[in-house]
Amino acid sequence: MKPRKSVTSGFEKRDVAVRQLRRAVQLFNQGDFVCATTLAGAAEEILGRMAQKRAGTTALDGHAHFWSQLADIVGKPPPEKKKVVTVHNRIRNELKHNDRGDNEWVRADFEFEARDLIDRAIRNHWLVYDAPPHDRVIDNYVQLNWR
């Protein structure tokens, strides 16, 4: 078998994120929650940076606001935004990095983590473009899970 020649091409960051998100949804639907989490996390980060720049807020900011309001209701001080970000991104980062170099266990509700990152990526897209991505697979996910 001959090796394939490398072909140089380019993609806009939005298109990269939508491709990652589409595949994350497909993997989610197949029950591969670890890979879905990783790809959705990559898409969420790209779209989150775009949302911050264009809309001044992100889906993760919405989580921080929620926890702040909840703390206010129960009479507790609000958590620092950095703490909310750390907690919400812990599993995504555990799956992407191995800072200590050890063969450690990663324990989580991977289905929940994948769904959370897929949802955050879609919300970030919505913040930037006032709509979810125009993609059949993602649209089906939104129809099944957001209604």
Contact 73, 65 (CB under 8 A): no
Select from 92, 99, 96, 146 the least CA-distant residue to 119.
Answer: 146
Torsion of CA 47, 119, 91, 99, to 10 degrees: -10
pLDDT digits (tens, 9 = 90+) for 27-84: 999 999 999 999 999 999 999 999 999 999 988 887 777 767 777 788 988 878 787 7
DSSP string, 81-140: HHHHHHHHHHHHHHHH--TT-------S-HHHHHHHHHHHHHHHHHHHHSS--S-HHHHH
Domain ranges across the chain: 15-98+108-145
Tens of pLDDT, residue by residue over 88-102, are 788 888 888 877 788
**How much is the pTM?**
0.85
Q: What is the pLDDT of residue 62?
A: 79
Contact (CB, 8 A) for 31 and 110 = no
Q: What is residue 54's three-state secondary structure?
A: helix
- Residues in the chain, overall count: 147
Q: Which amino acid is residue 82, in one-letter code?
A: K
- Residue 49: phi and psi, rounded to 5, are -65, -40
